[in-house]
Amino acid sequence: MRSLRPLLVLGTLGLLALLAVARLGTWRSPWPVPLLDTFALYAFVPFIGVAVAAPLMRSRALGLLGLVALLFFGQQYGSTVGSAIGLTSRTSVAAPAANSQVRILTLNVQAPNDDPQLLLGLIRDHRPDLLLLQEVTTGYAQALEQAIGADYPFSYAAGLETEHEGAGTWSRLPLADPQPFRLSAWGNQLHRVRVSTARGDLWLYNVPLPNPTDPTNTDHERGRLAAMWAFDASRRDAELEDLMEGAAAQMGPVILAGDFNLAAGSRAYRDSLAGWHDAFGEAGQGFGHTYPVPDHDHEGEPRQWLKRPFALLRIDYVLTRGDLRPTRAWTEVMVDSDHLALLTDLDLSDAPN
């Protein structure tokens, strides 16, 4: 027991130091620090064992490290845990008038997927004003258009001919000035449109950023554990930086919505989202994790021996800039996708006419 104690102290101290570097550092770090940063929530789990071992081993060092880890966890996730169990509320914004509110639904539908039937139920239940989808195929877009075209007469899509890069936007509100674009030669297809609302125009971006576990978008046959070894966020981070700078330069209110492949609270999140409202971060309750959906396997992938009880990360966002205030944000299960749908209500009351 005594010979094990110094090893546990060193191991605990090392993990705590790595977590501090991952979560508090402002510099770009080599693998595996960005991977630890992404999954930091789960890296705190071993400290439960430390808390149990400290009194059993009568180790003051382990007890002190366990206490420091608890305080660090509280600093990182205290408000999120508090909102999840109802101790705190992230927003107290009063509900806006009906004509001053816009509801957004964003979802990565997971290509190849040509059947929007399950999504139609979600649309009927929640009646979003703006519907933003990623990984949309031509078949999916055509079937969806036939089903909702009467209620959503304005739409724009780009990249549907690709394997999994297509993105589409459907709207009850008039759309104008559509512009497809890529942020890099290897990047996914994005687009922006100008939306006319009762409170004036705003810019809307449909965002699918690269997956850091498959940054070249060429290998979909590896298992998830193998993909972790190839984790590389540099391309995603470069695209994210360019996206945020370009969107911030737009005149008037701006909304970015979609699959950012970016973990909430990570270094890239902290660096890039300054000056932006994260709708779920401000108006949602709990962690709001959207990916990967439990027990969902990609078609053609080897089945995973380790089944997840819940989604692990929050990587889908509605972000706003200007006089757009999130009043509510929540997730909904879509069993035909590996993502949860994210819905957000935005108050346009303070937006310029």
Q: Mind listing the pLDDT tens digit for each residue in 226-247?
A: 666 778 899 999 999 999 999 9
Q: What is the pLDDT of residue 219?
A: 52
Domains (range + CATH), the chain: 4-84 (no CATH), 98-347 (3.60.10.10)
* Secondary structure class of 291 (helix, strand, coil): strand
Residue 315 has pLDDT above 90, yes or no: yes
Sequence-distant (≥ 6) Cβ neighbours of residue 239 within 8 angstroms: 183, 184, 187, 209, 210
Q: Which of 2-6, 142-146, 327-331 has the lowest mean pLDDT?
A: 2-6
- The reported pLDDT for the residue numbered 249 is 93
Q: How far is CA 59 from the centre of its chain?
A: 40
How far CA 282 is from CA of 90, 92, 228, 274, in Å, comes to: 5, 10, 30, 13
pLDDT at 352: 63
Q: How does DSSP classify residue 313?
A: B
Q: Does the pLDDT value for residue 95 go beyond 70?
A: no
Q: Which two tokens stand for residue 347?
A: 């108050």
pLDDT at 93 over 60: no
68, 74 in Cβ contact below 8 A? no
Higher pLDDT, 330 or 305: 330
pLDDT on residue 47? 96
Query: Is the per-residue pLDDT at 274 higher than 70?
Result: yes
Instruction: With a cut of 90, say whether residue 223 has pLDDT above it.
Output: no
Amino acid 42: pLDDT? 95
Name the band, by pLDDT with cuts 50, 70 and 90, for residue 353. low
The three-state secondary structure class of 180 is strand
Specify the pLDDT at position 231: 87
- 303 falls in which pLDDT band (50, 70, 90)? low
Per-residue pLDDT tens for 280-290? 999 999 999 99
Average pLDDT of the residues in 133-141: 95
Of the pLDDT bands very low, low, confident and very high (cuts 50, 70, 90), residue 28 is confident
CA distances, 168 to each of 132, 195, 206, 264 (Å): 6, 14, 8, 24
Which pLDDT tens digit goes with each residue over 29-54? Answer: 787 899 999 999 999 999 999 999 99
Please determine, for residue 173, whether its predicted confidence score (pLDDT) is greater than 70. Answer: yes
Strands 101-108 and 341-347: antiparallel
Residues 314 and 260: their CA atoms lie apart, in Å, by: 9
* Residue-level pLDDT at 293: 87
Contacts of 191 (CB under 8 A, 6+ apart): 156, 157, 158, 167, 169, 178, 179, 180, 181, 205, 206
The predicted pLDDT at position 349 comes to: 82
Mean pLDDT, the chain, rounded, equals 88
Give me the pLDDT at residue 32, please.
86
State percent of the chain over pLDDT 70. Answer: 87
The CA-CA-CA angle for residues 284, 235, 261, to 5°, reads 25
Average of per-residue pLDDT across 319-330 = 93
